[in-house]
Amino acid sequence: MKALVKKQGGEGLWLQDVPEPEIGINDVLIKIKRTAICGTDLHIYNWDDWAQKTIPVPMTVGHEFVGEIVEVGSNVNDYRAGQIVSGEGHVVCGRCRNCMAGRRHLCAQTSGIGVDRPGAFAEYLSLPMANVWEHREGIDLDIASLFDPLGNAVHTALQYDLLGEDVLITGAGPIGAMAAAVCRHAGARHVVITDINPQRLELAKKLGATYTVNPVQEDLADVRKKLGMSEGFDVGLEMSGNPSAFKDLLANMCHGGKVSILGIPSESLAIDWNTVIFNMLTLKGIYGREMYETWYKMSVMIESGLDISQVITHRLHYTEFQQGFDAMNAGEASKVILNWE
């Protein structure tokens, strides 16, 4: 079968013929229909320090996908050929304290598809049945391929009550922009989003942000005044990984404000702990998606009208993958979909 492989160190990915994956008794075989390119895939493509330390080569990459089950292992009774599925890319151990307690997203022995084990940028993927998410009938395949990053947005945004609240999102990348849509869908009042890239701010507006801020041009304190918010934001979602964006966010929260942090800073950073302490802020780190409450919320929100379609900026055939990675590297793309049919 064809697969996009990190064949060796250095920049790039290679479209290669590799053996079809074998499935174990607890696995399903999925024929891939669509995949989406994640920031993580870009790190692997560019072979940065993180990728060099993390990715054993050769490795078939990719973890954002939708496909059709074509075969199931002998132990699999709940799934059958023909079902349209995505899957949780974090494969957990199943035996640790958190896994046993049903807190699988907190497993410390997670292995990632397309990072630690063969990924989804391929014609076929073998996945444990415990990681399968079956889609509701009639779902748009491009949207279905985005459930992994949409899950990051949903997991981060739904940490706290949003109905009637004022939300600040720092970073209008694909995940920040989708989070804006989720916050609006969940009934937030103001959804203010920041980015230094005007194209990305425009996109976030299309997805539902009520006010966009370029921090180089406008101060968040002024924005609060303009919107009549005397006490600061109720909920903050850090989705940039940028130190100054994070500090700005903390400085503009209300007393008792609640912050969830998804963005990954490239190095350690200092914050004003006095703000956290005296304003009694709650800070929570977010990783991945909750298994499978986040997935359930995604399916029902899409069913009830959540529209994230505008986040897709490129639709390409998998053989045109180079174009997709170039657009990502140039900062021109938000979500790039690759069609494997």
- Detail the residues annotated as belonging to a binding site for Zn(2+): 38, 63-64, 93, 96, 99, 107
**Residue among 35, 40, 170, 194 flagged as catalytic:** 40
Alpha helices in the chain (DSSP H): 39-46, 49-54, 97-100, 141-144, 147-157, 174-185, 198-207, 220-226, 243-251, 273-278, 293-303, 321-329
Q: Rounded to the nearest whole angstrom, what is the least distance from the CB of residue 22 to ligand NAD in the complex?
A: 29
Annotated binding-site positions for NAD(+): 175, 195, 200, 262-264, 286-287
Catalytic residue flag (residue 110): no
Compute the distance between CA of residue 186 and CA of residue 147 in angstroms, rounded to an integer.
18
Asked if 172 interacts with ligand NAD (CB under 6 A), we say yes
User: Binders of ligand NAD among 263-302, rule CB under 6 A?
Assistant: 263-264, 286-288
Binding residues: 38, 63-64, 93, 96, 99, 107, 175, 195, 200, 262-264, 286-287
CA atoms within 13 A of residue 84's CA, in its CB half-sphere: 16
Which one of Zn ion, ligand NAD, none is in contact with 208 (Cβ closer than 5 to 8 A by kind)? none
99 binds, among ligand NAD, Zn ion, none (CB under 5 to 8 A by kind): Zn ion
Pairing of strands 211-213, 253-261: unpaired
Stretch touching ligand NAD by CB under 6 A, among 6-14, 44-52, 188-196, 270-278: 188-196
Query: Does the footprint of ligand NAD cover residue 215 (CB under 6 A)?
Result: yes
Query: Measured in whole angstroms, how far is the alpha carbon of residue 251 from the centre of its chain?
Result: 26
Active site residue 40: yes
196 makes contact with ligand NAD (CB under 6 A)? yes
Q: Does 245 sit near ligand NAD (CB under 6 A)? A: yes
Angle of helix 147-157 relative to helix 174-185, nearest 10 degrees, comes to 60
Q: Report the phi/psi class of residue 182: left, alpha or beta, with left for phi > 0 and alpha for psi in -120 to 50.
A: alpha
φ, ψ for residue 120 (rounded to 5)? -100, -5
CA distance 302 to 174: 17
Distance (Å, whole) CA 208 – CA 226: 19
* Nearest Cα residue to 324 out of 115, 36, 67: 36
Residue in 195, 249, 260, 312 binding ligand NAD, rule: CB under 6 A:
195
Determine how β-strand 312-317 pairs with β-strand 14-17: unpaired
Find the radius of gyration of the CA atoms of the chain: 20
CB of 91 to Zn ion, least distance (A): 10
Binding partner at 92 among Zn ion, ligand NAD, none, C-beta below 5 to 8 Å by kind: Zn ion
Candidate residues 18, 96, 130, 251; the one interacting with Zn ion per rule CB under 5 A: 96
Sole binder of ligand NAD in the list 87, 118, 174, 257 (CB under 6 A): 174
Which residue minimizes CB distance to ligand NAD?
173
What are phi and psi for residue 316, nearest 5 degrees?
A: -135, 160
What is the four-CA torsion angle of 122, 126, 129, 130, rounded to 10 degrees? -70
* Given 35, 60, 212, 242, the residue binding ligand NAD (CB under 6 A): 242
**Is 62 near ligand NAD (CB under 6 A)?**
no
Query: Residues 6 or more apart from 66 whose CB is under 8 A from it?
Result: 32, 33, 34, 84, 85, 86, 135, 141, 144, 145, 147
- x/- mask, ligand NAD, residues 131-150, rule CB under 6 A, reads --------------------
The count of other CB atoms within 10 Å of the CB of residue 263 is 21
Closest CB to ligand NAD among residues 126, 240: 240
Q: How far is the CB of 153 from ligand NAD (least distance, A)?
A: 8
The residue from 39, 58, 73, 112 that contacts ligand NAD (CB under 6 A) is: 39
Q: Which residues bind ligand NAD (CB under 6 A)?
A: 39, 152, 170-176, 194-197, 200, 215, 239-242, 244-245, 262-264, 286-288
Tell me the catalytic residues. 40, 43
